[in-house]
Amino acid sequence: MTATEIVTVNDRVYAWPKVPAIAICLDGCEPAYLDEAIDAGLMPTLKAIKERGTVRTAHSVIPSFTNPNNMSIATGRPPKVHGICGNYLYEPETGEEVMMNDPRFLRAPTVFKTFYDAGARVAVVTAKDKLRALLGHGLKFDDGRAICFSSEKSDTATKAEHGIDNASEWLGRPVPEVYSADLSEFVFAAGVKLLKEFKPDVMYLTTTDYVQHKYAPGDKEANDFYEMFDKYLTELDALGAAIVVTADHGMKPKHNADGSPSVIYIQDLLDEWFGEAAARVILPITDPYVVHHGALGSFATAYLPAGVDAAETCARLAAIDGVTVAVTKAEACERFELPEDRIGDIVLVSGENITLGTSEDRHDLSALNEPLRSHGGLTEQAVPFIVNRAMADLGDAPSLRNFDAFNVAVAAAALGGDAVEAAE
Ligand code: ZN
Ligand code: ZN
């Protein structure tokens, strides 16, 4: 055991955990999913935790997408500090759109790296591999104190690069399909085994929103997912860990009455106003896994041609039904704490039941086999924030953020553990 009592990460002070501190990011967990599953009697452990622990709502960062929020949870800070504001980045200098999942885009150390450097044992399991390099950045795997792998690529994990050889074999579970609930179940199962055997001081478990993009709160498939999660939560809780359950963002239906996606095609509009391809619309939700959302979300940024007035363009866009925010870069970066050099000239957010697209012919919607559900805007900002300990003085949304998860988890873990004491 180390003598360290506090750790400072990105100018925030963190307590040293006396029992394992775990943050669980349930991807796309609109709070209603938990309410419905609890009401159906499928989450007895979460229900009990809500009664004896602390229940809050937190706000995600905007854009309410996966990577910006996961990296905020991992660093304890908004995108302005860590730099990851989407899956995609447009570099005006090169005219290229590049994936932002390379660690070279990350501008702040993670909680995991800082705790590892301070002597802690650290474990990170992500469903999709796209997040692994970012989450694991700065960890060293040569002394057996760090593990970081994805379900998706679990069979190719190596001790040198992930802290574990073939995690799929280690867990005794085959590599799940990338579009499946199993990809997330693998994360939970690994978390339980790691807690028992690896005994991390700090652990992060982050899932995929495949189920949430397809199914509404209360649907059988959604309830099945949360019932499955509750079984693993039961084990994690019983092992004495301090746990924060939160989400990267919520999820809302974004389709028309006939089931077709509800979309405003911004590139088509800007082409009409300023000429073909004069402006460039970037949808930061775009990633290689578009099957479940067709790259349609509720946040867009656009680079405008020289000479076009950004404020005037915002006023025109704000007049469109369904556009709820249309602001200049400066306003957006101030309001949403975004890095100025990675955002276009204007930022747009759409309403609860409508998305923003580029051009109609550029979205492949053929794989959308359920009416579109998605996220990205302010209407998906409210997420659950549940702690399995009674925490005094914990605020609530809007001041409580999902990226307070580790700060709260280690504070709860610094209190010690009821279940551990009871078991002794
Ligand atoms: Zn997500
Ligand atoms: Zn999603």
| Ligand nearest to the CA of residue 298, numbered in listed order | 2
Rounded percentage of the chain residues whose pLDDT exceeds 90:
86
* Distance from the alpha carbon of residue 295 to the mean position of ligand 2, in angstroms: 9
* Distance from the alpha carbon of residue 213 to the mean position of ligand 2, in angstroms: 6
| Ligand nearest to the CA of residue 297, numbered in listed order | 2
In a domain, 423, yes or no: no
pLDDT, residue 88, reads 83
375: closest CA among 24, 27, 25? 27
| Ligand nearest to the CA of residue 66, numbered in listed order | 1
| Ligand nearest to the CA of residue 26, numbered in listed order | 1
* Distance from the alpha carbon of residue 59 to the mean position of ligand 1, in angstroms: 14
Structure tokens at 131: 């997040």
Q: What is the DSSP letter of 297?
A: B
Residues 342 and 382 in one domain: no
Q: Look at residue 218 and tell me whether its pLDDT is greater than 90.
A: yes
Domain CATH for 292: 3.30.1360.110
Q: pLDDT grade, residue 3 (50/70/90)?
A: low
Q: pLDDT grade, residue 288 (50/70/90)?
A: low
* Distance from the alpha carbon of residue 306 to the mean position of ligand 1, in angstroms: 34
* Distance from the alpha carbon of residue 29 to the mean position of ligand 1, in angstroms: 8
CA distance 367 to 251: 19
Residues 285 and 189 in one domain: no
Q: pLDDT grade, residue 424 (50/70/90)?
A: very low
Residues 208 and 60 in one domain: yes
| Ligand nearest to the CA of residue 126, numbered in listed order | 1
* Distance from the alpha carbon of residue 243 to the mean position of ligand 2, in angstroms: 23
Note the pLDDT tens digit of each residue in 361-401.
888 787 788 899 999 999 999 999 999 999 988 999 999 99
In a domain, 214, yes or no: yes
Note the pLDDT tens digit of each residue in 114-156.
999 999 999 999 999 999 999 999 999 999 999 999 999 999 9
In a domain, 191, yes or no: yes
* Distance from the alpha carbon of residue 351 to the mean position of ligand 2, in angstroms: 16
Residues 241 and 295 in one domain: no
Which residue range(s) make up the domain with 299? Answer: 263-374
In a domain, 114, yes or no: yes
* Distance from the alpha carbon of residue 32 to the mean position of ligand 2, in angstroms: 16
Structure tokens at 391: 């925490």
Residues 14 and 67 in one domain: yes
Residues 145 and 230 in one domain: yes
Residues 72 and 156 in one domain: yes
CA distance 316 to 209: 34
| Ligand nearest to the CA of residue 207, numbered in listed order | 1
* Distance from the alpha carbon of residue 414 to the mean position of ligand 2, in angstroms: 33
φ, ψ of residue 206 in degrees (nearest 5): -135, 130
* Distance from the alpha carbon of residue 3 to the mean position of ligand 1, in angstroms: 37
Residue range 333-344: average pLDDT?
Answer: 97
Number of independent structural domains in the chain: 2
Residues 220 and 236 in one domain: yes
Strands 252-253 and 21-25: unpaired
Range with lowest mean pLDDT among 29-43, 154-168, 365-379: 365-379
| Ligand nearest to the CA of residue 29, numbered in listed order | 1
| Ligand nearest to the CA of residue 383, numbered in listed order | 1
* Distance from the alpha carbon of residue 277 to the mean position of ligand 1, in angstroms: 30
Structure tokens at 187: 């994360």
Name residues with Cβ closer than 5 Å to ligand 1, which is an ion.
27, 66, 209, 248
What is the DSSP code string of 39-85? HTT--HHHHHHHHHSEEEEEE--SS--HHHHHHHHHHTS-HHHH---
In a domain, 343, yes or no: yes
| Ligand nearest to the CA of residue 291, numbered in listed order | 2
In a domain, 424, yes or no: no
* Distance from the alpha carbon of residue 403 to the mean position of ligand 1, in angstroms: 14
Other C-beta atoms closer than 10 Å to the C-beta of 57 total 17
φ, ψ of residue 323 in degrees (nearest 5): -85, 120
| Ligand nearest to the CA of residue 249, numbered in listed order | 1
CA distance 99 to 89: 6
Residues 332 and 322 in one domain: yes
Residues 24 and 83 in one domain: yes
In a domain, 246, yes or no: yes
Residues 31 and 96 in one domain: yes
* Distance from the alpha carbon of residue 378 to the mean position of ligand 1, in angstroms: 14
pLDDT, residue 313, reads 98
pTM for this entry: 0.96
Domain CATH for 86: 3.40.720.10
Residues 58 and 193 in one domain: yes
pLDDT, residue 363, reads 82
* Distance from the alpha carbon of residue 213 to the mean position of ligand 1, in angstroms: 10
Structure tokens at 334: 């101030």
In a domain, 181, yes or no: yes
